[in-house]
Chain A
Amino acid sequence: MARVVHPPRNAPPLWKNEGVRWLVFAVVALSLWEVGARLYNSPFLLPGPSRILEEFLKTPALVLAHAWITTQEIVLGFLLGALVAHLAALLLIVLPEWLEDFIFRAVSTLNSIPFVALASLVVVWLGVGGIGSKVAIAALYAFFALVYFVHKGMVSTDATKEELLTSYSASFVQRVRYLKLPFALPIIFTSLKGAAMAAVNGAIVGELFGAFQGLGFMILDSRYVGNTARVFLAAVFCTVVGWLLLGVLTALERRFVGWHLEMTRKG
């Protein structure tokens, strides 16, 4: 895909730089947190950033090992959920209308069961050990965050564009490739970001229901022994993993739907 043609533009001022903005935010937020925690002076209820860092430095390798497990669950679950959501959306488009309607009802029913109940069942079915059950739960969360939007995006193409492809006698696969998918891509990317956050939640929820490793396990384990700083530490790592995933998705979004960002900016 070709680059967007930019009008000549001056270098943006420093305070408009994304990295600079994050840095300023991090410094201000962490300082306020640290000051607040020290004034409150109750490390059991509210440990400050320095206390959490201290906790990390006690067993860095172990914490990173937990984080690595959870990261794998999140990423694999996200990819699996996204893949199945896209296949399901495509299937829904090709199926006859009555079957599409039936499956939509099934998906909606499943979607209205509380996720926590589903998650506990998945752990029963797939077992506590290993990452399989957690990957499945993360995938489930990601799937439901995506499937409606992918489907909606691909059926919302305008009728004239579809007719243009009819006039070319395009096949269904060509219709998807040249129209439906690129048309849906902006909304797909927006939903993928939501799905990534959902996958983080799914993996942690899965670990809370049954795991011997991972950040969710670390949260439960630390809470039992009253180590609040360690609970915070696990939460911080969850945030970091989520952000990394969002960062990758944002970069991919710029690469693949840069045209849309540019077009909507133009107004």
Chain B
Amino acid sequence: MTQSQTNPHPTPSAASLVSVKDVSMVFPTGTVALQNASLEIAAGEFISLIGPSGCGKTTLLRLLADLIQPTSGSIRVGGKTPEEARKSRAYGYVFQAPTLMEWRTVLQNVMLPLEVMGVPKAEHKPRAERMLALVGLEKFARHYPWQLSGGMQQRVSIARALAFDPQLLFMDEPFGALDEITRENLNLELLRLWRETGKTIIFVTHSIPEAVFLSTRIVVMTPRPGKIETVIPVDLPQPRNFETRETTRFFEIATQVREALRKGHGFDVQE
């Protein structure tokens, strides 16, 4: 199966939620982490950035989040610069590690962004409790993070990212450290959250099945220098479930992604 799309980069037009134009990132060491990347993302999409180590997928996510600043090019998030978007609390960020505060209970961890952002105090608890229910952890509100399993901790961090109701969710290999069974369950749960909340999700992964299962479009990236190789639309019907992974179309799209990665010499991708 070959990739038919010839102009893979910008697709959604006028009303893009995220717009990346010709962005490059060169680190002080001289490493070209990202070269001339362009990408348009519409509201409500689920976008996966996939590629091997060094392809710039995490760099791109960090650029969108204003955790680092590009060497050249322009980025718009909700019509604003990344810095303005960060300051207006436009996005929630889920890191590879759960990054929970060990001295706070699960509930208090989910309340953290509300406290920092000055949300009225009366709303903290009810909102945090609602988010915990959303990820199925309401019974663990009074536990400490280190009393939970890795998968549960990552669900807390997702609840925390959703607590202040940002439009966008940035997720940097959030399930990378988890076992396959837990990961598949959390994938399903994440898709349900995405449908129920209507968020736009940008999701970094190095797993082809995960990207195909979750995404509306897959951004295939390749290393040395890091660049966007192609963008592959995923037309698998929603809602997706465990059977989706067994369909012919699922394998066809996975093959497309694999071939795009090979084309860019991105061999070392987890199957």
Inter-subunit contact B102/A5 (CB<8 Å): no
Contact residues of B between 71 and 116, Cβ < 8 Å to A: 86-87, 89, 91-93, 95, 97, 99, 101-105, 107-108, 112-113, 115-116
A179 near B: Cβ within 8 Å?
yes
A253 to chain B, nearest CB (A): 13
How many residue pairs at the A-B interface have CB separations less than 8 Å? 63
Residue among A158, A169, A263 making CB contact with B86, cutoff 8 Å: A169
A170 near B: Cβ within 8 Å?
yes
Inter-subunit contact A263/B101 (CB<8 Å): no
Contact residues of A between 157 and 185, Cβ < 8 Å to B: 158, 160-161, 163-170, 174, 178-179, 182-183, 185
- Given contacts A166-B67, A167-B91, A169-B86, A262 and B144 within 8 Å (CB-CB): yes
- Given contacts A167-B67, A257-B103, A178 and B115 within 8 Å (CB-CB): yes
- How would residues 174 to 203 of chain A score, 1 for a CB under 8 Å from any chain B CB and 0 otherwise? 100011001101000000000000000000
**From B160, which residue of chain A is reached at the shortest CB distance?**
A164
Residue among A160, A161, A174 making CB contact with B116, cutoff 8 Å: A174
Query: In the docked arrangement, what's the CA distance between A262 and B144, Å?
Result: 10
Inter-subunit contact B117/A168 (CB<8 Å): yes
- Given contacts A182-B103, A257-B103, A169 and B87 within 8 Å (CB-CB): yes
Contacts of B93 in A (CB 8 A): 163-164, 167
Inter-subunit contact A5/B142 (CB<8 Å): yes
Q: Looking at B92, B93, B108, which has the most chain A CB atoms within 10 Å of its CB?
A: B93
Of the A-B pairs whose beta carbons lie under 8 Å apart in the complex, a sample of 10, sorted by A's number, is A2-B107, A2-B108, A5-B143, A161-B99, A164-B95, A168-B112, A174-B116, A259-B103, A260-B103, A263-B102
Which residues in B have some Cβ–Cβ distance to A below 8 Å?
A: 65, 67, 86-87, 89, 91-93, 95, 97, 99, 101-105, 107-108, 112-113, 115-117, 142-144, 146-147
